[in-house]
Structure 1
């Protein structure tokens, strides 16, 4: 954190606070910067100090050679030709510098009234008319409305106190001169608790920011009371909070806590939500965090005391200090599913950590950075549960793998793995269904949050651990914000393995399948709904995405009661109608994708068919003039040429016919399931086959004509193969994807079967 006291004469006289002062900040921050230093001793607040202010600002402008902008009455040069353009730029620069100097020397009560003035001379004259002659009639009124008068008075007092009365103390503290600071505080006892900067900082705040330990320690020990240490700056931070954020000396932090132990539970910033240990974890101060963890009372971190305990756990997880989280959860298990200040439960955050393909751990400076990589099948963390047979171990087994150079740090990594595993099972063991009330397993609860996070992210292993333990009942009690159960959520997020695993639990199947959400959707309505959360990005092409959606809808439809197919939701729509409405755009995209692919492949197939047909009548070597038979008829290479040419011709013909069939097909949702993909698979396969046999025919023809001339044959064959190989390489992946999605292990039925088999282990 960098806390900077803005002095009159710096580049911008105000700090950026948000939309309320954006216009003033934006205008001043774009002005020409003034040289560092103080423009005037104090800013202009009104008629009471205008005379002194104007004299000081005039001297400053004279010293900076800017007074002629105010003194002259000539109009600015107009940029009409090259010479005048140079003069105009020079005038504009000096005008901006003068304008900026005046603006940053005006108080916050005046700045809103003058922010729209772009001429320094006009601004100067306007201020003179407003404040130079108070009794003058017709002057421009720049005073604040009566409602804002109190703010003007407070602002004036704050600035005067901060830069005149306490200026000596501020400079002494900033420079680390305790002798001067001590004498000043002795003469002015109240100064030790006074706010001496525009940011509302006390002398102790300033000393900590300046990293002046020789000032901070005696201030705490000798000059400040217990209550003085609780004073906050304008950002809501106590001096202890600032020390933690800055990573200040641990001894000084300990000194402040010993003098006022209540500081450990005083909230800071963000509406007073962050207690000191949370600040330490949030800002990566692990050494301070461990110290604060030891001295913070556990009873102050219980859910009854607020979200601080859960926040400590979530921040400990995010900073990879799992041991702190584990200790805290062991003292208060309910923290695992309590909500922190961001309304996130530790268990939910941990599930999110698991779901990532790579989670970075930022360790101390002596460590290198490592990454936590979860298993591709998400069978969580390679930790075999105790008292399970080998089959169960393989099903619920979990593997933590680390990427990067690990030889030198194997002990540290093993320690992190152990902490990671222990924390997971400590949080799972904390869930006791019998002891949980309706709120704790309700829509907004941390338990529901964690389970639905796992379902959304496809973390099969976590859901498996819930299903195989005493927490299984949670799977049919919890609901999300839309009133959907875990089975509906698995369908919504298209995780077939999780769906199959939950579906395979007999006691939950009937109850979950018959459920409806808040708008009357049954599980088949959910299967027919395409939303932004539906994970389709990993699927190639709109047609394959549409095929996957049809597979899901048909798969869930086959498992449901047939009556569900005609049930209507509160909008009066059946599942089929919901499917067609939500997939209308995807059907159009799938049709366009199919037609474009078929058109491009048809061109290639037609070209091959034409070449191969002509090659059959223009054979290599020609024909015998007497018999009409091919000259190389008796050579084996000639037989290979004829066979390859014929196969290429026939396969390219089939390919073209298949692609023409695609171009003339109907594009309804059901056709994307098998009909269109099958035609595309046949067309692509025969096209690639025709390309391969064409290359064989070409190679055999070259070998026939240049027999024994390998130095010619080999380069020709290689060069001819390059463009063909590139085309196959670019499109072969599409063929594989279509075969896998249509007939392979990527289908809904295969994945669901895997989930059902997993659930059978725990019956």
Structure 2
């Protein structure tokens, strides 16, 4: 009868602690108290039944501490930990054998984590059934709070039973940290455990190869503009202090953190974070190269070539990584993947910064890239040459992700690439015939659609600009014969002797000449033949001159208008000149703001193509 009454009891009914049978109904109030963080109810339960503090409450063998840590009840956990022994904190659930610290780490509850670790510091070394320590689980979930990650990284050591930095899960831990952008934490760990630099995951990935996958780890791929890069050079970081403590705890460091907190609203924190990530990534690559320096050179090459680190970095444009690796091991210059070497990949994927590393006219580059190295004992291989121009004649696989925008700029960039490679290769390469076609003919065929789009863009833009220039020319031409103040009977302007009138006449004449020049430039663009070679300099130069003259004509027209209006005003209305000047400057500011990006992009791509200038790094 007692058993039947117990089974028929409602779910929330309370069973007396003195009862010999304690089932899930008995612990139901304690379970709900843990879920809702009701410490008063839980404390009354503990007073009646002290064993309930470590009792199993769920079918998954979870205690009240597990439930409270999963539901993020920090105050509840803090009070409960004071009542528990260090050994009871290490109880694992079923079937994953996870402790309360595992769940606190997954929830990124820093207060809870500090309380648990403060009571039992060995919790950080306890793995679950899958071999994951709390730090491992946190690295899987890409934590949003770096403070939690730093605390666990500092609190976790390589003691048994987990040994997280020498166990098979160590490679996964480092891989997750680097993948999620925590290069500073990774560098902190590899300083303590250098073996982490050379370990590989099941996919043969290393710290360096993971860094190579994401070019944003370095400043070259961070997407910072010119001004942000200039600011970045002035930012200094105390890397040693940050890696030792996770943050700079000194007075200066706290002031700096406060400054960066305010600067975040102005975008400066993004620049600081990009520099920190770059510095840590470069240091990781250097330390990796140094850590394997005692290996045989064949083992070193195998270390980098098994996961195609150098080729992957080339394809993604991680030029800093390539520079550091080649400075330590120049033999990596011959790295290949599926028969494709570094230079070919830089051309195929249009990686300008990488190409510049190898475009110096040195004997090493000539031997490495202009000729295929023949295999011993194969006579048929000795006469085979590797030609680069046919490679650059093809469209890049990442064509849509190139940094330039607009079809005309794309085609200009493609022609620049062809010309840069043409300067670099042997003269016989330029006359190579493939199916009775030279590389230049192949280039024109491959880029025909791009040429048509560039032609259409040039025509549409030139037509619009020419229309504006023609309107300005019409207005200022009429203004030359309807001068302010009128003319005398003989046709001489009445105000001819005044200085303001001369200013009006000069501004009006300059506006006319500028607008006519702009019309001629845009007209010459419309009548161009639009051959791909014209997009290299001819068309862009004409467009730059036309846009410059159009801007000048607009400025001179407004100056002419303002001067004429000031002449017509009586001395009593001289004050109106100031608002007129201010209002007249608005169109000029708008024109500069809207058209300057286009103008600067064309000037930069036409007159500053860095692709033609090789960069030396073996100094």
Normalised by the size of structure 1, how large is the TM-score? 0.56
State how far apart, in whole Å, the 2-side matches of 1:540 and 1:297 are. 56
CA positional deviation for 1:633: 4.2
Judged with a 3 Å threshold, the aligned counterparts in structure 2 of structure 1 residues 728 and 502 are, in CA distance, closer, same or farther, namely closer
State how far apart, in whole Å, the 2-side matches of 1:689 and 1:632 are. 26
CA positional deviation for 1:300: 6.5
Match of 2:517 in 1: 654
CA positional deviation for 1:286: 3.9
CA positional deviation for 1:250: 6.7
CA positional deviation for 1:660: 2.1
State how far apart, in whole Å, the 2-side matches of 1:276 and 1:576 are. 59
Match of 1:427 in 2: 288
CA positional deviation for 1:323: 5.8
The structure 2 residue matched to 1:554, chosen from 419, 430, 438, is 419
| Contact 1:602 1:656 (C-alpha < 8 Å) held by counterparts | yes
Match of 1:730 in 2: 594
Match of 1:682 in 2: 545
1:543 partnered with 2:423: no
The structure 2 residue matched to 1:510, chosen from 367, 370, 380, is 367
Match of 1:587 in 2: 451
Match of 2:555 in 1: 692
Match of 1:488 in 2: 344
CA positional deviation for 1:675: 2.0
| Contact 2:157 2:164 (C-alpha < 8 Å) held by counterparts | no
State how far apart, in whole Å, the 2-side matches of 1:181 and 1:572 are. 94
The structure 1 residue matched to 2:467, chosen from 576, 589, 603, is 603
Q: Whose radius of gyration is greater, 1 or 2?
A: 1
1:624 partnered with 2:458: no
The structure 1 residue matched to 2:151, chosen from 287, 291, 297, is 287
CA positional deviation for 1:281: 4.7
State how far apart, in whole Å, the 2-side matches of 1:742 and 1:309 are. 46
The structure 1 residue matched to 2:312, chosen from 452, 476, 479, is 452
CA positional deviation for 1:655: 1.7
> Secondary structure at 1:622's aligned position in 2?
coil
Match of 1:673 in 2: 536
CA positional deviation for 1:680: 1.0
Judged with a 3 Å threshold, the aligned counterparts in structure 2 of structure 1 residues 648 and 286 are, in CA distance, closer, same or farther, namely closer
State how far apart, in whole Å, the 1-side matches of 2:339 and 2:554 are. 55
| Contact 2:70 2:104 (C-alpha < 8 Å) held by counterparts | yes
1:527 partnered with 2:392: yes
Match of 2:254 in 1: 408
The structure 1 residue matched to 2:26, chosen from 168, 173, 189, is 168
State how far apart, in whole Å, the 2-side matches of 1:377 and 1:572 are. 53
Judged with a 3 Å threshold, the aligned counterparts in structure 2 of structure 1 residues 276 and 508 are, in CA distance, closer, same or farther, namely farther
State how 1:138-157 maps to structure 2 within 5 Å: none
> Secondary structure at 2:297's aligned position in 1?
helix
Residue range with higher mean Cα deviation, 168-177 or 600-609: 168-177
1:498 partnered with 2:351: no
Which string of whole-angstrom CA distances, capped at 9 and with x for unpartnered residues, describes residues 243-286 of structure 1?
65356567867999979x9x745553xxx6x4443125555354
| Contact 1:528 1:576 (C-alpha < 8 Å) held by counterparts | yes
State how 1:345-356 maps to structure 2 within 5 Å: 345-350=206-211, 352=214, 354-355=217-218
> Secondary structure at 1:510's aligned position in 2?
helix
Judged with a 3 Å threshold, the aligned counterparts in structure 2 of structure 1 residues 206 and 618 are, in CA distance, closer, same or farther, namely closer
Alpha-carbon RMSD: 5.2
The structure 1 residue matched to 2:603, chosen from 735, 739, 746, is 739
The structure 1 residue matched to 2:574, chosen from 710, 716, 720, is 710
Judged with a 3 Å threshold, the aligned counterparts in structure 2 of structure 1 residues 380 and 460 are, in CA distance, closer, same or farther, namely farther
State how far apart, in whole Å, the 2-side matches of 1:720 and 1:381 are. 40
State how far apart, in whole Å, the 2-side matches of 1:350 and 1:431 are. 17
Which string of whole-angstrom CA distances, capped at 9 and with x for unpartnered residues, describes residues 99-136 of structure 1?
xxxxxxxxxxxxxxxxxxxxxxxxxxxxxxxxxxxxxx
State how far apart, in whole Å, the 1-side matches of 2:433 and 2:164 are. 51
State how far apart, in whole Å, the 2-side matches of 1:443 and 1:290 are. 32
Greater relative CO (CA pairs within 8 A, separation 6+): 2
> Secondary structure at 1:436's aligned position in 2?
helix
> Secondary structure at 2:329's aligned position in 1?
helix
State how far apart, in whole Å, the 1-side matches of 2:585 and 2:118 are. 75
Normalised by the size of structure 2, how large is the TM-score? 0.67
| Contact 2:66 2:103 (C-alpha < 8 Å) held by counterparts | yes
1:474 partnered with 2:332: yes
Match of 2:18 in 1: none
Judged with a 3 Å threshold, the aligned counterparts in structure 2 of structure 1 residues 515 and 355 are, in CA distance, closer, same or farther, namely farther
| Contact 2:221 2:318 (C-alpha < 8 Å) held by counterparts | no
CA positional deviation for 1:724: 4.8
Which string of whole-angstrom CA distances, capped at 9 and with x for unpartnered residues, describes residues 470-489 of structure 1?
32222322x45x65433234
CA positional deviation for 1:654: 2.5
CA positional deviation for 1:327: 3.0
CA positional deviation for 1:618: 2.9
CA positional deviation for 1:559: 0.9
Count, aligned residues: 529
Q: Which runs of 5+ in 1 are unaligned?
A: 1-40, 43-51, 57-163, 360-372, 384-401
CA positional deviation for 1:293: 1.9
| Contact 1:644 1:696 (C-alpha < 8 Å) held by counterparts | yes
| Contact 2:392 2:417 (C-alpha < 8 Å) held by counterparts | yes
State how far apart, in whole Å, the 1-side matches of 2:556 and 2:180 are. 63
The structure 2 residue matched to 1:242, chosen from 103, 124, 130, is 103
State how far apart, in whole Å, the 1-side matches of 2:201 and 2:297 are. 23
Residue range with higher mean Cα deviation, 547-556 or 421-430: 421-430
Which string of whole-angstrom CA distances, capped at 9 and with x for unpartnered residues, describes residues 352-397 of structure 1?
56426899xxxxxxxxxxxxx99559999989xxxxxxxxxxxxxx
Match of 1:113 in 2: none
State how far apart, in whole Å, the 2-side matches of 1:206 and 1:244 are. 14
Which string of whole-angstrom CA distances, capped at 9 and with x for unpartnered residues, describes residues 562-621 of structure 1?
44456699x999755664566444333322321221111111111122223323333333
